[in-house]
Amino acid sequence: MAKRAFLIVLDSVGIGAMPDAANWGDEGSNTLRSIRNHPDFDCPNLTKLGLFSIDGITEKIASTHTCYARMSESSRGKDTTIGHWEIAGIYSADPLPTYPNGFPKSLLDEFEKLTGRGVLCNKPYSGTEVIKDYGEEHIKTGKLIVYTSADSVFQIAAHEDVVPVETLYRYCEQARELLQGEHGVGRVIARPFAGEYPFQRTPKRHDYSLQPPSKTVPDLLKEKGFDVISVGKIFDIFAGRGFTESHPTVNNEDGMDKTVQIAKRDFNGLCFVNLVDFDMVYGHRNDVAGYARALTAFDKRLNEFLPLLKEDDLLMITADHGCDPATPSTDHSREYTPLIAYGAKLKKGVNLGTRESFADIGATVLQWFDQPTDAVFGKGFLKEIIDD
């Protein structure tokens, strides 16, 4: 009989600083707390599913409907790539390289030789501000805007009238081949923009991720003949490896539209979803109100999605890191993440406490499909939640 699992990552919805958060400059960060009391926050479905029953949540609201846990990140990082890799079973002992002072000249010299174009900026920068500050010079000179952030990223911005999108993608592919080993950043990101000053970023962003260093849950499921469906940037985060289908999205609503349509289908395997707006549009821009409205909008979409779950379905809702919009920082924050596990065959009202690794999620997904977990980091908890 076919089984399905839906793993939905609410990108950056952290639930409180981890014990080592001060080492990352994130002491006191708590993304959920920062948006919970905003007047636009209204999440009855997530509340019923146990979001506010999790350990460490202040002003708890008890739930008897699901299984829930507080997830610790055991890897050394707080970025998208390492967070998702850990969810999928990889422990990263070393953080991916970051460049708070820009990329080395020797590296950019090599990049310029590959592309035949010069480079502007080479600093950590806001994606919306960098095109305001360098967009006009880019149009005049044809030089590429290269910038980074607190994350392990090499971002290339170019106006679509100056550098066609397909050409920009080719430049990113060249950068990805260059950025390996010591300079193996988590992602090379194409950032096309259009229009006149102050310019507008277009939805044609594309991420080129580092190859995962070992097998992941998607790899293992695909090898065994299961359907492995990506929604959003999941496909990019894993460098396209381990998936049988990919459904790119332009925002959270589009992501949920596609997830709902997939839930109406018969398939046998995993649907792995990333909803990026929480992080990209609201967390990084310190927009508390927008973040609160975005989580409220997701909660409303659960009214449509939850009734589509079948007898042999497993739903897991989690996050990959924090991005507290109420702190002075606009960067990711080193936080615990929530886990909600729900399904007809699961027990109700089970508090799994604080788990040692995000990888416990991936191991549990493998257990759901009766697959061994020895190839991944993490300890599955299916026996603790399954209703025999």
Structure tokens at 119: 């480079």
pLDDT of res. 123: 96
Q: Which of 209, 239, 271 is the last residue of a domain?
A: 209
Residue 133 lies in a domain: yes
Q: Which of 164, 194, 209 is the last residue of a domain?
A: 209
Asked whether residue 192 falls in the same domain as residue 269, the answer is no
Q: Which domain holds residue 28?
A: 4-94+212-385
- Report the DSSP beta bridge partners of residue 31: none
At residue 127, the 3 state secondary structure works out as helix
Asked whether residue 38 falls in the same domain as residue 179, the answer is no
Is residue 139 packed enough to be buried (19+ CB in 10 Å), middle (13-18) or exposed (0-12)?
A: middle
d(CA 341, CA 67): 5
d(CA 179, CA 13): 29
As a whole number, the mean pLDDT across the chain is 96
d(CA 340, CA 197): 44
Residue 29 lies in a domain: yes
Asked whether residue 176 falls in the same domain as residue 237, the answer is no
Residue 339 lies in a domain: yes
What average pLDDT does this structure show over 31-38? 96
At residue 254, the 3 state secondary structure works out as helix
At residue 204, the 3 state secondary structure works out as coil
Peptide bond into 198 cis (omega under 30): yes
d(CA 299, CA 251): 15
List, for residues 174-226, the tens digit of each pLDDT value.
999 999 999 999 999 999 999 999 999 998 999 899 999 999 999 999 999 99
* Gyration radius from the chain CA atoms: 21
pLDDT of res. 2: 79
Asked whether residue 49 falls in the same domain as residue 176, the answer is no
Q: What is the CATH number of the domain that holds 119?
A: 3.30.70.1250
pLDDT of res. 227: 98
Asked whether residue 83 falls in the same domain as residue 224, the answer is yes
User: Phi, psi at residue 315, to the nearest 5°?
Assistant: -110, 130
Residue 138 lies in a domain: yes
Query: Which string of DSSP letters, residue by residue, matches 45-86?
Result: HHHHHTGGGSTT-SS----SSSEEEEEPP-SS--SHHHHHHH
Asked whether residue 228 falls in the same domain as residue 330, the answer is yes
At residue 170, the 3 state secondary structure works out as helix
What region, left, alpha or beta, does residue 90 occupy, with left being phi > 0 and alpha being psi -120 to 50 degrees?
beta
Judged against a pLDDT cut of 80, whether residue 98 lies above it is answered with yes
Asked whether residue 203 falls in the same domain as residue 233, the answer is no
Would you tell me how many other CB atoms lie within 10 Å of the CB of residue 182?
Answer: 8
Q: Per the structure, how many domains does the chain have?
A: 2
Judged against a pLDDT cut of 90, whether residue 62 lies above it is answered with no
d(CA 131, CA 201): 8
Q: What is the DSSP letter of 11?
A: T
- Cβ atoms 51, 31 nearer than 8 A: no
pLDDT of res. 63: 85
What average pLDDT does this structure show over 152-160? 97
- Let me know how many helices (H) and strands (E) the chain has, helices first: 13, 14
Residue 78 lies in a domain: yes
Asked whether residue 143 falls in the same domain as residue 273, the answer is no
Judged against a pLDDT cut of 70, whether residue 320 lies above it is answered with yes
d(CA 225, CA 3): 13
Q: What is the CATH number of the domain that holds 334?
A: 3.40.720.10
Instruction: Name the one residue in this structure whose structure tokens are 């990019």.
Output: 236
pLDDT classification of 1: cutoffs 50, 70, 90: low
pLDDT classification of 387: cutoffs 50, 70, 90: confident
Residue 236 lies in a domain: yes
d(CA 199, CA 299): 32
Residue 99 lies in a domain: no
What average pLDDT does this structure show over 45-50? 96
Asked whether residue 230 falls in the same domain as residue 300, the answer is yes
Asked whether residue 116 falls in the same domain as residue 254, the answer is no
Residue 372 lies in a domain: yes
Q: How far out from the chain centre does Cα 345 lie?
A: 28
Judged against a pLDDT cut of 80, whether residue 99 lies above it is answered with yes
pLDDT of res. 130: 97
Type of residue at 23:
N
Q: Which of 209, 241, 258 is the last residue of a domain?
A: 209
Asked whether residue 122 falls in the same domain as residue 57, the answer is no
Structure tokens at 96: 């991916």
At residue 206, the 3 state secondary structure works out as strand
The pTM of the full predicted model, rounded to 2 decimals, is: 0.91
List, for residues 247-306, the tens digit of each pLDDT value.
999 999 999 999 999 999 999 999 999 999 999 999 999 999 999 999 999 999 999 999
**Residues in the chain, how many?**
388
pLDDT of res. 65: 87
Asked whether residue 279 falls in the same domain as residue 317, the answer is yes
